[in-house]
Structure 1
Amino acid sequence: MSILEMEVSTLEFLDVLRQPAFDKILKCSEVSELLKLDGSDAEHFLHCIFTMMFEPENSRDPFSPFFRYGRSHSPGIGDFNGNSMFCLAAACLEVKNPELRARICDLIWCEKKGSNVFIAHMAVDAYIESAEALIEAGESISAMRRIERALRLSYLLRRAPENRVGTVTDYVLKIINDDQFLGYPDRMLRLAYEFGIGELELLYSLSRQQATEMGAEGKYRAAIDMLELSVSCAKQLQDKAKEHEVYINMASCYEAEAESMPEALGCGPLMSAIEALRAVPETRERQEALFRKLRDHQRALQHSMITFSIPSGDLSELVNRSVRMVRGQDFIDSIFRLVLAVHSPTNIDKLRQTTAEALEGSIFFDLGAEHYDGDGLPIAVTPGVNDSTNAREIALENHLAQALKRDHQVVVRACLLPAIEEIANSYFVGKDGWAPFLINNYFVPRDHIEFYDRGLTAGLKGDFMLAAHILIPQIENSLRYVIAQSGQEPTRLFGNGDQDREGLKALLANPTIEQIFGKDATYALKTILTDKVYGDLRNQISHGYISSNEANGDASVMLWWIVLWILALPYRDYWAAKYSAEFFAEWPRRTAD
């Protein structure tokens, strides 16, 4: 019986929740040890409630399914039986444990099942009570998350009678004034800034102080987060002197972070340092010095952009091999295995040679063809071979695009999808789960990290349609970002004085892109996104021509993987140092490509 069909009475819920063992629970995740999925309906129902993932940063939907892949997922908001939720609402007043009471009341409020503002207020009070118990037990991370949820929920209800905004904000202000940041001053201060808790001068001063302390300890990422908050406060205070001072400190912090890294990884921080100085007048000389340093780091990055491959056996064995290959020590290891071992960008020179040999003397090479999209519109023509060298080249390139598409279809279905599903079923990727690959990445501007985080997460969950919609515009912007790091201006100046950004095709044709990504990855990216014979994915998605099935198809999966390959490859040496010994013990090393 599904959870949507499960009818549970108030008394059945109370029989479970009144058990003494529940009084000692600190976190909902501990409940799974007390409740059995194969027990009573009430146990099963409550087990599903307490094992949902808690995401306090999402004001409207703070709970998500424990697992999700494609269209399948465990219960989440909206999946519970309505009558049972009404009965649970009647039982929640007798739940003594604040952690469990907070979860139940919050879910009832989110489900809008027999709930009113009073039950939401109960959830806020219970979250604060739970946070205090967690602080006392030394569980500062969990406590911080409960406080954040209480704050966001109370602000959703700030216009309701007897709201709890004052209670929660006073609690947060007390923590800040006592310098009791629960070990997470960045999160606490950001929440205070977001909800206007405390004076701006206080937040500015505290964030600068925390940034100085963290920078001195070599915690550059946390220090920069605090400096970004300081900039926001200075802007609201309309104090240009403070703003410029913070930007200069931020540039110094980025530069120090770059110096603490291997040269190949320092490009992102140095570019961020230059961007910070651009907001400060009379810093041109220092910007130029950082650009010179950036060139040295870029040369090191180009030398590191190599990978290795392991020859595959029979096609029938590829699925099992790919699944076994991504069973790493942790999520980071598994992702590196996915991009470095399961597949590598198709060798385009070898595929071109194979395609040319296969077509030599073939009637298909002589006749030519027309290509149509899903609506039956002619989108490309492959010319028949004649004495024109140009016709032969066009025909070969069109057949090469088709050959690459066929190769990608095999790789996606036999290698990538099974491996991605294995990773998705093995790990939960929460907020900032992709941060090790995105922060300070030469491909990702700092203020675009969330786009990549959501796009990668969507693909990992099997929603490649959403991933493609998010990632395609970001790829174009990131290509400009990479070209700008090389000292070029990725714009065009027209005769009438107008200036416009370079388009995707021009960006992909820039020699800098191939120098950094390599011929094979650049060709694959260009073909998937812009080649009409392959499918012209960027144009099809941007203009809404593509069907949902096609948007969730092989091209979107392959694009997602290539983006991940680009993001992960600069950190290859880190993976090799920490994880590769165990990997190569199982998969003997082959010659590098």
Structure 2
Amino acid sequence: MNKTVLVKENFNKKQFDEIITSNGLKENYEYSKRFYQEMKNTDDNTERLIYQLFGDITSYHLDLDSKGIPYGPYLITKDRRSPSIEDLNEEELSFLDDIIEEITNSEIKARVADVLWIRKRNYQKAMIACNAYLQAYYQMVKPESWNSSTQRLERAVQLSKLFRKGKAKENILEALDKEIEKYSNEKKSLFLHHLVELMLKIQKSNFTKYAEILKKTAQSLEKEKDWRLSGEYWNLCSECYRYDKNLVERDQAKEAYGNTYIMLAYEAIHNNDTPIYAVASVHLNNAIEIYRRIETARDIVKKLHIEMLEYQKKAVKQMQKIEISNIDISKITQDVIAEVKEKSFREKLFILSTHWTTLDIKAIEEQARKSLKENVLDRFLPTVKVNSEGKNIHKSSSAYFHDQESAEFKEALKDEMHKQSQIYRQMAVQAMICPIQEQIRSEHFFMLRDLLFLVVNNPFIPEGREQIYAEGLLAGLRGDFLISTHLLIPQLENSIRYILANEGEIVSTLNSEGIQEEKNLNTLLYNPKLKNLLGDTIVFDLQGLLVEKSGHNTRNLVSHGLYNYNEFLSVPTIYTWWIIFKICCVCQYSLFK
């Protein structure tokens, strides 16, 4: 049987246009459905190949945050995936190159030209894609539902950066400038905000006029007491002033940004039947982080810090203790999947961070004492822990001591508590963390930008580390714990140094030669002040998870290259991702609203 070869003459433009004709421009995934349907309906083998080719191309997912190829399969399961850009062969690419000028639909033309640019590195196709994306944006744009249209505009911006100068880049700059002017009074969404963000990605000067537009919008939103949205506009306003080195105006915008969090804290106290002090303290924490970055705002920081401490004390009194007994893992898994199903992406993240509490130290200590009492042999003989190669890596103390106040008994009790904690973590991973992650991946396509709200202005994350945290959280949420572990553990160590240093703690050592070395997690996690900052349970959990030899000791094993590939898919690395994710979320809970 002869193989069908696609050539330009096989392309029936009239028939192609009839398939995609509709009221208004549709998104590629809508066209993909139509092409696949036509593929099923036709008996002509050549037509079937053409419809399948266009069905495949229009099905690709566009990931604008990707550092490599921005297109990938829209669906990936354990044993299969949908079509992807690397599947295209030379014959198909040649066919697309021959017919690109025949395609008049801007959405499909932009996609085909973009695919040809990525696979063949033809700059002419990048220029065609750039112009087609711009046309698609104009045909789709609606300020009230702007996400789809601005994705096309953003991809055009990305492609225009290939050209240092020339018509393509000039067209984009001119288009963005006109759109910002056109929608300068648009304040019901982040549409205007996103347009200015795109301008920041392609141009690095002359931003004062955009800052003034953002300032006007932020002030208007403040009059309506929309503190969340006005805060977003003040933050970008300060960035625009920074690009133009207008430092006084930048700090004024930052102060206004910080004030939006103070007002949100005020609302949490005064606009509810019962004051919600936990939410108010989170807002004040965010405000403090912003004001700390303004040199002239030290007095404001001190005042807000005192107020936040007062709110935190009141928040503790409002908290309730939750006890769980007779846990049925299968029932928990069923319940949690039912709870997150069809919820929004952010709602799922919120549930993932809150559904399972961290360790109950008192319950674990009680269980450890009971275990030591019942397991008589363990009380007499020390327990030896071995690694995957059979090497002895830890030897726990014998618990056979009548004096339970002795150092030896306390050491044995601590070892047993860390052993018990491992069971708890395994339950958390199997019953809750992995099932929710899988549900998120099955229902949502998410990118790096979708997690930035967790890390920006987060009091736990030092300035300049936000992108690293976001990359690590994204990798773990996608199931790549090899990447998440290597990114997040060092950043956690740095963050703990950061919050301890902010409390006046010394986080470095001085050796006999006068060399200063930063303290690592093996020391930092035992600083008494840390329990005041993160809480007893999280600190104990981190100790057993990351540095205790009787626990998982993940930090030290990973740092010394003692994990093989499969061990990065195990309970310790998954739980490490989750607890760091939880800490990030705790500081930003108010943003889930």
Length-normalised TM-score, structure 2 = 0.82
Alignment of 1:386-405 (within 5 A): 387=401, 389-405=406-422
> Structure 1 residues 108, 233: closer, same or farther in 2, change over 3 A?
same
- What's the counterpart of residue 166 of structure 1? 170
- What's the counterpart of residue 581 of structure 1? none
> Structure 1 residues 233, 334: closer, same or farther in 2, change over 3 A?
closer
> Structure 1 residues 295, 346: closer, same or farther in 2, change over 3 A?
closer
- What's the counterpart of residue 260 of structure 1? 267
- What's the counterpart of residue 134 of structure 2? 128
| Distance across 2 between alignment mates of 1:14 and 1:309 | 68
The percent of aligned pairs where both chains have the same amino acid is 22
SS in 1 for 2:435: helix
SS in 2 for 1:524: helix
What CA deviation, in whole Å up to 9, does each residue of 1:294-339 have, x standing for no partner?
A: 2123224444665746656655656545533432533344344444
- What's the counterpart of residue 204 of structure 1? 211
| C-alpha displacement of 1:102 | 0.4
Deviates more, 1:379-388 or 1:498-507: 498-507
| C-alpha displacement of 1:529 | 1.2
| Distance across 2 between alignment mates of 1:243 and 1:570 | 25
Pair 1:141 & 2:150 matched: no
Alignment of 1:355-366 (within 5 A): 355-360=368-373, 361-366=375-380
| Distance across 2 between alignment mates of 1:315 and 1:281 | 51
Pair 1:66 & 2:74 matched: yes
Deviates more, 1:135-144 or 1:290-299: 135-144
Structure 1, unmatched stretches of 5+, are: 579-593
| C-alpha displacement of 1:391 | 2.7
Bigger relative CO (Cα 8 Å, ≥ 6 apart): 1
| C-alpha displacement of 1:480 | 4.7
- What's the counterpart of residue 55 of structure 1? 63
| C-alpha displacement of 1:527 | 0.9
Maintained 8 Å contact 1:70/1:462:
no
Pair 1:367 & 2:381 matched: yes
Alignment of 1:251-400 (within 5 A): 251-261=258-268, 262-303=276-317, 308=322, 314=328, 319-327=333-341, 329-341=343-355, 343-360=356-373, 361-374=375-388, 378-385=392-399, 387=401, 389-400=406-417
SS in 2 for 1:156: coil
| C-alpha displacement of 1:57 | 4.6
| C-alpha displacement of 1:35 | 3.0
SS in 1 for 2:161: helix
Maintained 8 Å contact 2:35/2:55:
yes
Residue identity opposite 1:175 in structure 2 = E
- What's the counterpart of residue 195 of structure 2? 188
- What's the counterpart of residue 86 of structure 1? 94
> Structure 1 residues 574, 309: closer, same or farther in 2, change over 3 A?
farther
**Which of residues 165, 177, 180 is equivalent to 1:176?**
180
> Structure 1 residues 287, 396: closer, same or farther in 2, change over 3 A?
closer
> Structure 1 residues 232, 534: closer, same or farther in 2, change over 3 A?
same
| C-alpha displacement of 1:95 | 1.3
- What's the counterpart of residue 540 of structure 1? 557
Maintained 8 Å contact 1:59/1:152:
no
What CA deviation, in whole Å up to 9, does each residue of 1:55-88 have, x standing for no partner?
A: 3354753323323467864333424344323322
Figure out how many residues of one structure are paired with residues of the other and give that number.
566
| C-alpha displacement of 1:433 | 3.0
Residue identity opposite 1:47 in structure 2 = G
Maintained 8 Å contact 1:207/1:229:
yes
Residue identity opposite 2:424 in structure 1 = D
Deviates more, 1:398-407 or 1:548-557: 398-407
What CA deviation, in whole Å up to 9, does each residue of 1:28-61 have, x standing for no partner?
A: 1322441337734443443332232223354753
SS in 2 for 1:34: helix
Pair 1:561 & 2:568 matched: no
- What's the counterpart of residue 125 of structure 2? 119
**Which of residues 398, 401, 426 is equivalent to 1:409?**
426
Residue identity opposite 2:357 in structure 1 = S
SS in 1 for 2:525: helix
Length-normalised TM-score, structure 1 = 0.82
Maintained 8 Å contact 2:358/2:538:
yes
> Structure 1 residues 158, 238: closer, same or farther in 2, change over 3 A?
closer
| C-alpha displacement of 1:439 | 5.7
Structure 2, unmatched stretches of 5+, are: 41-47, 269-275
SS in 2 for 1:509: coil
SS in 1 for 2:36: coil
Pair 1:109 & 2:128 matched: no
| Distance across 2 between alignment mates of 1:507 and 1:245 | 36
- What's the counterpart of residue 36 of structure 2? 36
What is the Cα-based RMSD across aligned positions, in Å? 3.8
